[in-house]
Chain A
Amino acid sequence: MVNHTSLNQKEKILSLLEQVADPEIPVLTILDLGMVRDIICKDEETEIVITPTYSGCPATDTIAFDIKLKLLENGYTNVKVSYTLTPAWTTDWMTDKGKEKLKEYGIAPPKNKSVNDNSMRIQKMLFDQEDCIECPRCQSTNTVLLSQFGSTACKALHQCNDCKEPFDYFKCH
């Protein structure tokens, strides 16, 4: 994060943003997700720059609204939320704390590095299983992918062969 905002000011704002949760996975804050890209305080205006996780993620508008509300509640009168697409969001930005919270919540956290390697050929990974996704309930790694697409854009659906429970996996992006 590059900006002209003093450290103290920024920390105060960050502690407020830490309270803004993802409406679809409420255990994660927008900081855990790595969605906050910049904080700019200029004259009277406070600008928060965020980046969407998935292009069509319906939570993005709600999050922008929640950020505004949180800051307004805490005395910031002139708040602007703006969007940036570069660099593109990746699960690599998810904090370790965020990953821990996801697991406790029953969602397996992203395991590998982001898939945006241009040398990777899709044709080579057909019918592939992402290996050893750990079941968030019984920690078994004997699990199987049911579908690459789950209940929200960021998740895939897996099943544990030991405890037999299906579970969500926050897929690498």
Chain B
Amino acid sequence: MSPIINQTLQLADTCLILGQRNSEWCAHGPILEQDIAITNITLDLIGQARHFYQYAAELISKSENKTITEDALAYLRTERAFKNWLICELPNEDWAHTVLRQFFFSSFQLLLFEELEKNSDSQLSAIATKSIKEIKYHIKWSSEWVIRLGDGTEESNNRINKALQILWPYTGEFFMPADYEIISVGPLQEKWLLSIKEIFDEAGLTMPENIFMQSGGKSGIHTEHLGFILSELQYLQRAYPGAEW
């Protein structure tokens, strides 16, 4: 498949898998307003995933001369075909883990999509422009939570530090290029670190140094957790092919 199809699938899978993880909070959020906030963010992510899947389906259908649907891409591919960033598939821990992951993710997503917006592919550029408006709300929301927990009580500070230990090794993958990527991700690292540091300074958190960074998601090498997500996510379509609401 062409680089542009692989890139589109990577972005689709990434938004879908984090959306699916966040959706596990539905009806379990710490208070009603925050339950609604995280599920709204989830809805945005799944909407973005849909735009990418629809576009990927269009490109694949054209290049392979048969009809591939957005649903087939989301519901009928297996682990090795998924190209999502590893950080998305890590199991939920506590609220601190969820908000810190969202903060790392959205801060990178913004930088990446600002590049995507400049791409000559007009549909990818359009999806990026639309998503950026949503991502800015996600960054604001998650940054406030990182500061609130980091600069909060001893308990909240402990929890966000624990989340930091778990999540940090998965942030390096953002900047490790996959062979098909149409955007050069390496140069975004410096900007990303600066934006993280700015919030960490407010929150009283310190960025870990010299940590081994995990990678592989972009090329289909995943943690053991992805299979479990897919079996839940894809169950209905596999058990009842073509089922609709």
Q: Is A23 engaged at the interface, CB distance under 8 Å to the other chain?
A: no
Q: Which residues of A contact B50 (CB under 8 A)?
A: 55-56
Residue of A nearest to B45 (CB): A56
- In the bound complex, what is the Cα–Cα distance between A90 and B125 (angstroms)? 17
B40 pairs with A153, CB closer than 8 A: yes
Main secondary structure of the interface of B (DSSP, over half): helix
* Set of chain A residues within 8 Å of B207, measured between Cβ atoms: none
Q: Does B144 contact A (CB under 8 A)?
A: yes
Contact partner, B126, options A86, A122, A127, Cβ 8 Å = A86
Q: Is the CB of A125 within 8 A of B129?
A: no
A161 to B66 Cα, complex, angstroms: 59
Q: Contact: B43 with A56, CB < 8 Å?
A: yes
Chain A residues with Cβ below 8 Å from B48 are 55-56
B149 to chain A minimum Cβ distance, whole angstroms, is 14
Q: A147 with B36: in contact, given A56-B48, A122-B136, A125-B140 (CB under 8 Å)?
A: yes
- Quick one: given A54-B44, A57-B47, A147-B36, are A126 and B143 in contact (CB under 8 Å)? yes
Cβ contacts B123-140/A at 8 Å (1 or 0 each): 101110111111011011
Task: Tell yes or no: B167 within 8 A of A by CB.
Answer: no
* Alpha-carbon separation in the docked complex, A118 to B113 (Å): 12
Of B36, B131, B136, which one neighbours A151 at CB under 8 angstroms?
A: B36
Near B by CB (< 8 A), chain A positions 106-151 give 114-116, 118, 122-123, 125-127, 146-151
Q: How far is the CA of A166 from the CA of B113 in the complex (A)?
A: 35
Q: Which residue of A lies closest to B140 (CB)?
A: A122
| Set of chain A residues within 8 Å of B34, measured between Cβ atoms | 147
Are B36 and A150 neighbours in the complex by a CB distance under 8 Å? yes
Q: In the complex, A54 Cα to B198 Cα: how many Å? A: 29
User: Taking the complex as formed, is B33 at the interface, i.e. its CB lies under 8 A from any CB of chain A?
Assistant: yes
Q: Would B44 and A55 count as touching, CB distance under 8 A?
A: yes
B78 contacts partner chain A, Cβ-Cβ < 8 Å: no
| Residue B61 lies at the interface, judged by CB distance under 8 Å to chain A | no
Alpha-carbon gap, A165 to B50, bound state (A): 37
CA distance A56 to B39 in the complex (A): 11
Q: How far is the CA of A173 from the CA of B44 in the complex (A)?
A: 13
Given A115-B133, A125-B140, the answer on whether A149 and B41 have CB atoms closer than 8 Å is: yes
Contact A149 B141 (CB under 8 A): yes
Please, how many angstroms separate the alpha-carbon atoms of A82 and B18 in the complex? 28
What is the CA–CA distance of A16 and B48 in the complex, to the nearest angstrom?
30
Query: For residue B54, which residue of chain A has the nearest CB?
Result: A83
CA distance A146 to B34 in the complex (A): 10
**Which residues of chain A are near B129, meaning CB under 8 Å?**
85-88
**Which interface residue of B37, B125, B130, B195 has the most chain A CB atoms within 10 A?**
B130
Rounded to whole Å, the gap between the CB of A42 and the closest CB of chain B is 21
When distances are taken between beta carbons in the complex, the residues of chain B under 8 Å from A87 are 129
Q: State A56–B50 Cα separation when bound (angstroms).
A: 8
Contacting residues of chain B (101-124) with chain A, CB-CB under 8 angstroms: 114, 122-123
Answer yes or no: A157 CB below 8 A from chain B CBs.
yes
Q: Is B37 within 8 A of A148, CB to CB?
A: yes
Q: Let me know if A54 and B134 touch, CB within 8 A.
A: yes
Expressed in whole angstroms, the Cα–Cα distance for A150 and B40 within the complex equals 8
- Does B88 lie at the interface of the complex (its beta carbon under 8 Å from any beta carbon of A)? no
Contact A126 B33 (CB under 8 A): no
Contact A148 B123 (CB under 8 A): no
Q: Which residues of B contact A118 (CB under 8 A)?
A: 114
Instruction: List 12 additional contacts besides A84-B126, A147-B33; criterion CB under 8 Å.
Output: A55-B47, A56-B45, A85-B130, A88-B130, A90-B133, A118-B114, A123-B199, A126-B140, A126-B143, A126-B147, A149-B37, A157-B36
Q: Which 9 residue pairs spanning A and B have beta carbons closest together? A: A56-B47, A55-B47, A85-B126, A56-B43, A149-B37, A147-B33, A149-B40, A88-B130, A86-B126
